Structure 1
Amino acid sequence: MTISTTRRIAGAVAMLAASTAMTGTAFAEAHGGVSFEGETVEFVIPFSESGGSARWANFFAPLLSEALPGNPTVVVRYRPGAGSTSGANWFQEQTTDDGTLIFGTSGSTQFPYLLGDPRVRYEYNDWQVVLVSGTGGVAYLPDELAGLMDGLDATGLQDTDFIWGSQGATRLDLVANLAWEMLGMNVEPVFGIEGRGDGRLMFERGEANIDYQTSSAYLRSVMPMVEAGMAVPMMTWGALDDDGNIVRDPTFPDIPTFAEVCEATPACETEGPAWDAWVAFFTAGFPAQKMIFLPGSTDQAIVDAYTDALNEIIARPDFAEMAETTLGDYPQMTGAAAQAAFRLGTQVDDSAREFVINWLEESYGVTLD
């Protein structure tokens, strides 16, 4: 290589470096001075890596890396324990407010907060929400038990002893536990699993004979079992229309809702205290099921940068197609819509709360004091 060639290469490298620096500066200025160039963003979820929250976080992580100013590396970290309470308590104590730490919650994080669980040391109102993802849930049975249902009538299941893996009595799983009890079924939960994916694994190993998964995990991990004849969908929890009515889940329009199964089962009633409580906690747990937060002390410019990035992601022409096969067909909310959904997911009527607290003590001996 000649000296002149070496000088040309060195000059080109210098010009490229200067151009990159100017581009980075201009890019940061265009985003309120915020740039994550060269940074690593930790996206922490308080669950194991086998469930729907992991799938949701891993869906958004590379998209955020592309959309955030400076294109940081976004890495999903797992902090399971106590049905997500442990991880949420940890996040409450964090002081990293430069945008390099974000936290993802689920209904299993919201429910202990709503019920006043004494283990909760986190306060949702201290955090800044930047995304709310709706989702659904599908309950399913082994093929040999699905035939006990008479159409939508679940009466034939009432003489079977069921076992399933549950994160805990005060977690999102209470929606399933209350639904099965309302149907007159005898379902014994094995409490203490670290994520819904662990419950699915119990089903696959034959240690459980009923289960439910949120939509993302159902699409990825249960559909193959359905296609192989190992599992049969029983019902979804449903979705809410614009008037707040429970309708069929748009991701699973061919599967009946719990409301439909309840109406067809004489032991179950779609009115009264139990039904009102079920609807209240379903509403808090699924239409606003997963959320991304920044610490409360985070500068507004960083919050805005995340909002802009998430809006860019949602506006991608291929987003709906990617989300349909990974997350399902549900709203992804930012800005004012996220704030409204956040309030929906972190508030519940006092009468519904009192019903559930009493039911937890009567059914599982769980007291919240």
Structure 2
Amino acid sequence: MKVIIVGGGIGGLTAAVAFHQRGWQVGVLERAPEFTEIGAGLSIQPNGLHALDMLGLGDALRSGGPTDPPAGIRRTNGSWLIRNDVDDLKRRFGQWATVHRAALVDLLRAVLPAHALRPGTDVHAVRPDGAVRHSGGTTTADLVVGADGVHSVTRRSLWPDIPGPRYVGYTTWRLIAPPHAVDGSVETWGRGERFGHVPMPDGRVYCYLMANAPIGSRTNLDRLRERFARWHDPIPALLDSARADAVLQHDTYELPELRTYVSGKVALLGDAAHAMTPNLGQGACQALEDAVTLASTVDTLGVRAGLEEYDRARRPRTQMIARRSRQAGTPAHWTSPPLTALRDAALPLLPLSLFGRSITSVYTWTT
């Protein structure tokens, strides 16, 4: 059996590994000239690690050093809005892992035979019969997997009439700062903007910033330093230590809910199927879940029945998580002084265990 995977990011390579381990002939078509990931840090949460465990790769990330669950959310002056019970989260759900995105890509790529990887291949169109037209000609397969991101060519080929990605109103910057002592994984909320920092096992700090902005607007590091200069420590110091060439900015998009993730011999996974806001940190984790589920269902049930089962299993869950993610981030982007004052007064009154209860169904995924 042969599978062609369009897109060589985290979701596509995970699918490639899952099918390769099941004995399928695998081809990964990647537009970029090499297989790597342009990005910063990535937090793999317990459900994502469980998906990697199913491929025998979870311990490779755990061995880099433990990462604590999110500690909570602060105000710009440093006082707590929400403080999570980190020890309880670790006891209930297990370990988190924080890595550079490129390190995870390298881990996945190393498991695959070199001939399966076809960089520098620009896909033009995908047909439901399993034919893929690309810069090197046309390739056919028993199954095609569209793992080509939020602006997916696969999705546009087979679902041409659905609305495209929607800009959610805020842009995101990501960077990795040099080693710095920080008090765990913390997010800070202002009015229409926020800052998060996550310690990495090697001492460096993954930072992300989000702010309301017109689509396509760009802001450099100096302006970011000015913007966050009066926020609590260590935010100014982290930005002061960063290099301008280490800052990546991307506008934030999400997809409307699709009626199905499959068509003929083709399946969508990851951002191509359910691009979501980063507020729960679940984008990559859901792609990992998609990949191992797809390989399992198709290999066990056959292509047609397997795709039906994949859609039944994955679409409700991923769309639920996308909705939760959108809702979780909305209060951070309020700009009305009365609304933000109400938010800041109400959040500290919530029970300490609320986060753990609300996220249980996300973290305890099994296939």
More helix by share: 1
TM-score range, shorter chain: under 0.3
Which of the two has higher C-alpha Rg?
1
Compute the TM-score of the two structures, normalised by the length of structure 2.
Answer: 0.25
Compute the TM-score of the two structures, normalised by the length of structure 1.
Answer: 0.25
